[in-house]
Protein backbone atom coordinates (compact mmCIF):
# COMPACT_ATOMS: atom_id res chain seq x y z
CA UNK A 1 0.00 0.00 0.00
CA UNK A 2 1.53 3.37 -1.00
CA UNK A 3 1.54 6.31 1.39
CA UNK A 4 -1.37 8.15 -0.26
CA UNK A 5 -3.63 5.10 -0.06
CA UNK A 6 -2.62 4.59 3.56
CA UNK A 7 -3.31 8.23 4.38
CA UNK A 8 -6.67 8.20 2.63
CA UNK A 9 -7.62 5.11 4.62
CA UNK A 10 -6.59 7.00 7.76
CA UNK A 11 -8.62 10.00 6.59
CA UNK A 12 -11.80 7.94 6.26
CA UNK A 13 -11.20 6.21 9.59
CA UNK A 14 -10.67 9.60 11.25
CA UNK A 15 -13.93 11.10 10.00
CA UNK A 16 -15.87 7.90 10.67
CA UNK A 17 -14.68 8.05 14.27
CA UNK A 18 -14.96 11.84 14.57
CA UNK A 19 -17.80 13.29 12.45
CA UNK A 20 -17.18 17.03 12.32
CA UNK A 21 -18.70 18.89 15.28
CA UNK A 22 -20.33 17.47 18.39
CA UNK A 23 -21.86 14.00 18.57
CA UNK A 24 -25.24 14.62 20.11
CA UNK A 25 -28.62 15.74 18.75
CA UNK A 26 -29.08 18.03 15.75
CA UNK A 27 -29.83 21.15 17.81
CA UNK A 28 -26.57 20.76 19.71
CA UNK A 29 -24.68 20.16 16.44
CA UNK A 30 -26.19 23.29 14.90
CA UNK A 31 -25.59 25.45 17.97
CA UNK A 32 -21.96 24.38 18.26
CA UNK A 33 -21.24 24.89 14.55
CA UNK A 34 -22.75 28.35 14.34
CA UNK A 35 -21.30 29.47 17.66
CA UNK A 36 -17.95 28.69 16.05
CA UNK A 37 -18.92 30.25 12.69
CA UNK A 38 -21.70 32.81 13.37
CA UNK A 39 -21.26 34.39 9.93
CA UNK A 40 -21.92 31.15 8.06
CA UNK A 41 -25.75 30.82 8.06
CA UNK A 42 -26.17 34.19 6.35
CA UNK A 43 -23.71 33.21 3.62
CA UNK A 44 -25.45 29.87 3.14
CA UNK A 45 -28.83 31.56 2.77
CA UNK A 46 -27.38 33.90 0.15
CA UNK A 47 -25.84 31.17 -1.99
CA UNK A 48 -28.83 28.84 -1.63
CA UNK A 49 -31.38 31.44 -2.71
CA UNK A 50 -29.60 31.97 -6.02
CA UNK A 51 -29.28 28.42 -7.35
CA UNK A 52 -31.58 25.57 -8.40
CA UNK A 53 -29.15 22.66 -8.06
CA UNK A 54 -26.44 22.53 -5.40
CA UNK A 55 -23.78 19.98 -4.56
CA UNK A 56 -22.09 20.13 -1.17
CA UNK A 57 -18.68 18.46 -1.08
CA UNK A 58 -18.02 17.27 2.45
CA UNK A 59 -21.44 17.66 4.06
CA UNK A 60 -20.39 16.10 7.37
CA UNK A 61 -23.35 15.61 9.71
CA UNK A 62 -25.56 17.71 7.46
CA UNK A 63 -26.02 20.87 9.53
CA UNK A 64 -25.34 23.26 6.64
CA UNK A 65 -27.53 21.20 4.31
CA UNK A 66 -30.64 21.99 6.35
CA UNK A 67 -29.94 25.73 6.15
CA UNK A 68 -29.32 25.44 2.41
CA UNK A 69 -32.43 23.37 1.67
CA UNK A 70 -34.57 25.66 3.81
CA UNK A 71 -33.37 28.65 1.74
CA UNK A 72 -33.75 27.12 -1.75
CA UNK A 73 -36.82 27.49 -3.93
CA UNK A 74 -39.19 24.52 -4.21
CA UNK A 75 -38.34 22.22 -7.09
CA UNK A 76 -34.60 22.58 -6.67
CA UNK A 77 -32.13 19.81 -5.88
CA UNK A 78 -29.49 19.46 -3.20
CA UNK A 79 -26.97 16.61 -2.95
CA UNK A 80 -24.44 16.25 -0.15
CA UNK A 81 -21.47 13.89 -0.35
CA UNK A 82 -18.95 12.95 2.29
CA UNK A 83 -15.99 10.57 2.43
CA UNK A 84 -17.29 9.23 5.75
CA UNK A 85 -20.16 6.76 5.69
CA UNK A 86 -20.73 7.42 9.40
CA UNK A 87 -21.25 11.13 8.70
CA UNK A 88 -23.65 10.38 5.86
CA UNK A 89 -25.65 8.16 8.21
CA UNK A 90 -25.98 10.99 10.76
CA UNK A 91 -26.85 13.55 8.06
CA UNK A 92 -29.58 11.31 6.64
CA UNK A 93 -31.06 10.70 10.09
CA UNK A 94 -31.00 14.42 10.88
CA UNK A 95 -32.73 15.32 7.62
CA UNK A 96 -35.70 13.05 8.27
CA UNK A 97 -36.74 15.42 11.08
CA UNK A 98 -37.14 18.33 8.68
CA UNK A 99 -38.21 16.83 5.34
CA UNK A 100 -41.87 17.86 5.67
CA UNK A 101 -40.92 21.49 6.26
CA UNK A 102 -38.19 21.91 3.64
CA UNK A 103 -38.87 23.25 0.11
CA UNK A 104 -36.02 20.99 -1.10
CA UNK A 105 -35.45 17.55 0.43
CA UNK A 106 -31.70 16.83 0.77
CA UNK A 107 -30.08 13.73 -0.70
CA UNK A 108 -26.85 12.28 0.66
CA UNK A 109 -24.29 9.76 -0.52
CA UNK A 110 -20.75 8.64 0.21
CA UNK A 111 -18.33 10.17 -2.25
CA UNK A 112 -14.74 11.24 -2.86
CA UNK A 113 -13.96 14.93 -3.53
CA UNK A 114 -11.20 13.89 -5.93
CA UNK A 115 -13.53 11.65 -7.96
CA UNK A 116 -17.00 13.17 -7.80
CA UNK A 117 -19.64 10.56 -8.76
CA UNK A 118 -21.52 12.87 -11.14
CA UNK A 119 -21.50 13.68 -14.81
CA UNK A 120 -20.08 16.81 -16.39
CA UNK A 121 -22.06 20.06 -16.09
CA UNK A 122 -24.54 18.69 -13.53
CA UNK A 123 -24.89 21.47 -10.94
CA UNK A 124 -25.54 25.21 -10.83
CA UNK A 125 -23.41 25.56 -7.69
CA UNK A 126 -20.91 23.62 -5.59
CA UNK A 127 -20.32 24.47 -1.94
CA UNK A 128 -17.53 23.08 0.24
CA UNK A 129 -16.66 24.31 3.72
CA UNK A 130 -13.21 23.46 5.07
CA UNK A 131 -12.92 20.12 3.28
CA UNK A 132 -10.74 20.33 0.18
CA UNK A 133 -7.67 21.41 2.18
CA UNK A 134 -7.91 18.02 3.96
CA UNK A 135 -7.76 15.99 0.71
CA UNK A 136 -4.64 14.33 -0.67
CA UNK A 137 -4.77 16.33 -3.92
CA UNK A 138 -6.68 19.62 -3.56
CA UNK A 139 -5.94 20.61 -7.16
CA UNK A 140 -7.68 17.48 -8.39
CA UNK A 141 -10.66 18.17 -6.13
CA UNK A 142 -10.95 21.72 -7.49
CA UNK A 143 -10.74 20.33 -11.03
CA UNK A 144 -13.60 17.97 -10.21
CA UNK A 145 -15.68 20.88 -8.91
CA UNK A 146 -15.05 22.70 -12.18
CA UNK A 147 -16.05 19.60 -14.18
CA UNK A 148 -19.43 19.06 -12.51
CA UNK A 149 -20.44 22.73 -12.72
CA UNK A 150 -22.57 23.97 -15.60
CA UNK A 151 -21.22 26.81 -17.73
CA UNK A 152 -21.66 29.95 -15.67
CA UNK A 153 -22.08 27.89 -12.50
CA UNK A 154 -20.45 29.02 -9.27
CA UNK A 155 -18.20 27.36 -6.75
CA UNK A 156 -18.25 28.51 -3.12
CA UNK A 157 -15.18 26.98 -1.51
CA UNK A 158 -13.69 27.71 1.93
CA UNK A 159 -10.00 26.94 2.38
CA UNK A 160 -7.52 27.61 5.15
CA UNK A 161 -5.67 30.91 4.77
CA UNK A 162 -1.93 31.44 5.05
CA UNK A 163 -0.91 33.29 7.13
CA UNK A 164 -3.50 33.07 9.89
CA UNK A 165 -3.07 32.63 13.62
CA UNK A 166 -5.36 29.64 14.13
CA UNK A 167 -4.04 27.52 11.27
CA UNK A 168 -0.45 28.54 12.02
CA UNK A 169 -0.91 27.36 15.60
CA UNK A 170 -2.35 24.07 14.35
CA UNK A 171 0.61 23.60 12.00
CA UNK A 172 2.99 24.22 14.90
CA UNK A 173 1.20 21.71 17.12
CA UNK A 174 1.40 19.11 14.36
CA UNK A 175 5.19 19.61 14.29
CA UNK A 176 5.26 19.06 18.06
CA UNK A 177 3.35 15.80 17.58
CA UNK A 178 5.85 14.69 14.93
CA UNK A 179 8.64 15.22 17.45
CA UNK A 180 6.82 13.23 20.12
CA UNK A 181 6.13 10.48 17.60
CA UNK A 182 9.83 10.29 16.71
CA UNK A 183 10.79 9.94 20.37
CA UNK A 184 8.15 7.30 21.10
CA UNK A 185 8.37 5.45 17.79
CA UNK A 186 4.65 5.81 17.21
CA UNK A 187 2.19 7.75 15.03
CA UNK A 188 -0.27 10.53 15.97
CA UNK A 189 0.55 10.16 19.65
CA UNK A 190 -1.20 13.34 20.83
CA UNK A 191 -4.29 12.54 18.80
CA UNK A 192 -4.50 9.08 20.37
CA UNK A 193 -4.14 10.57 23.85
CA UNK A 194 -6.95 13.05 23.16
CA UNK A 195 -9.16 10.29 21.78
CA UNK A 196 -8.72 8.27 24.98
CA UNK A 197 -9.93 11.28 26.95
CA UNK A 198 -13.03 11.56 24.75
CA UNK A 199 -12.01 15.02 23.59
CA UNK A 200 -15.18 16.09 21.73
CA UNK A 201 -15.66 19.55 23.18
CA UNK A 202 -19.10 21.17 23.37
CA UNK A 203 -17.34 24.46 22.66
CA UNK A 204 -14.84 23.46 19.97
CA UNK A 205 -16.31 20.21 18.63
CA UNK A 206 -13.63 18.09 16.95
CA UNK A 207 -11.26 21.01 16.29
CA UNK A 208 -8.40 19.71 18.45
CA UNK A 209 -8.79 16.16 17.21
CA UNK A 210 -8.60 17.46 13.64
CA UNK A 211 -5.45 19.41 14.48
CA UNK A 212 -3.60 16.23 15.42
CA UNK A 213 -5.56 13.51 13.64
CA UNK A 214 -6.14 14.35 9.98
CA UNK A 215 -3.31 13.33 7.61
CA UNK A 216 -3.61 16.36 5.32
CA UNK A 217 -3.92 20.02 6.27
CA UNK A 218 -3.05 22.54 3.56
CA UNK A 219 -3.25 26.32 3.68
CA UNK A 220 -2.93 28.94 0.96
CA UNK A 221 -1.90 32.51 0.32
CA UNK A 222 -3.71 34.67 -2.25
CA UNK A 223 -1.48 33.81 -5.21
CA UNK A 224 -1.73 30.08 -4.45
CA UNK A 225 -5.53 30.33 -4.40
CA UNK A 226 -5.49 32.14 -7.73
CA UNK A 227 -3.35 29.39 -9.26
CA UNK A 228 -5.55 26.67 -7.76
CA UNK A 229 -8.64 28.19 -9.43
CA UNK A 230 -6.93 29.28 -12.65
CA UNK A 231 -9.29 27.10 -14.71
CA UNK A 232 -12.31 29.23 -13.74
CA UNK A 233 -13.38 32.29 -15.72
CA UNK A 234 -13.44 34.57 -12.65
CA UNK A 235 -12.46 34.31 -8.99
CA UNK A 236 -13.24 36.59 -6.06
CA UNK A 237 -11.82 36.22 -2.56
CA UNK A 238 -13.02 37.25 0.89
CA UNK A 239 -11.54 36.48 4.30
CA UNK A 240 -13.73 35.17 7.13
CA UNK A 241 -13.10 34.50 10.81
CA UNK A 242 -11.20 34.67 13.09
CA UNK A 243 -12.53 32.07 15.46
CA UNK A 244 -11.62 30.45 18.71
CA UNK A 245 -15.18 29.49 19.52
CA UNK A 246 -17.09 31.78 21.86
CA UNK A 247 -13.77 33.17 23.09
CA UNK A 248 -13.59 35.13 19.83
CA UNK A 249 -16.43 37.38 20.95
CA UNK A 250 -18.69 36.30 18.09
CA UNK A 251 -16.61 36.74 14.95
CA UNK A 252 -19.28 38.45 12.85
CA UNK A 253 -17.81 37.73 9.46
CA UNK A 254 -15.47 39.24 6.91
CA UNK A 255 -12.17 40.42 8.39
CA UNK A 256 -8.59 40.77 7.26
CA UNK A 257 -7.52 38.69 10.28
CA UNK A 258 -9.60 35.64 9.29
CA UNK A 259 -8.37 32.11 8.82
CA UNK A 260 -10.66 31.10 5.93
CA UNK A 261 -10.59 32.15 2.30
CA UNK A 262 -14.13 32.33 0.96
CA UNK A 263 -13.57 31.61 -2.74
CA UNK A 264 -16.34 32.39 -5.22
CA UNK A 265 -15.34 31.07 -8.62
CA UNK A 266 -17.41 31.12 -11.82
CA UNK A 267 -16.95 28.36 -14.39
All structural domains of the chain with their residue ranges: 3-160+217-266
Buried-exposed string 225-263: b where 16+ CB fall within 10 A, e elsewhere: beebbeebeebeeebbbbbbbeeeeebebeeeebbbbbb
CATH architecture of 3-160+217-266: 3-Layer(aba) Sandwich (3.40)
- The pLDDT value recorded for residue 197 is 75
Q: Which of 116, 53, 58, 98 is nearest to 82 (CA)?
A: 58
Residues of the chain short of pLDDT 70, as ranges, are 1-3, 5, 21, 198-205, 242-252
In 3D, which of 250, 221, 220, 254 has the Cα closest to residue 239? 254
The pLDDT of residue 1: 37
Inter-axis angle of helices 26-36 and 63-71, nearest 10: 90
User: What's the predicted TM-score (pTM) here?
Assistant: 0.92
Long-range contacts (CB closer than 8 Å, 24 or more residues apart) made by 204-211 = 204/36, 204/245, 205/20, 205/21, 205/22, 205/32, 205/33, 205/36, 206/18, 206/19, 206/20, 206/21, 206/22, 207/36, 207/245, 209/14, 209/18, 210/18, 210/20, 211/170, 211/173, 211/174
Amino acid sequence: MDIDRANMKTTREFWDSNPCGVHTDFEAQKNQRYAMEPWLPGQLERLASGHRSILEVGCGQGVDSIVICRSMQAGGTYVGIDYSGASIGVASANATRFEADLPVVPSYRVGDAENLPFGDATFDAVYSMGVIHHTADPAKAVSEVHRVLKDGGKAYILLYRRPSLKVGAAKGLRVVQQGVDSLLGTERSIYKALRKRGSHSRLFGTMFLECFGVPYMYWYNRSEIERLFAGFSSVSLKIFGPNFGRLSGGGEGETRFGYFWWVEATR
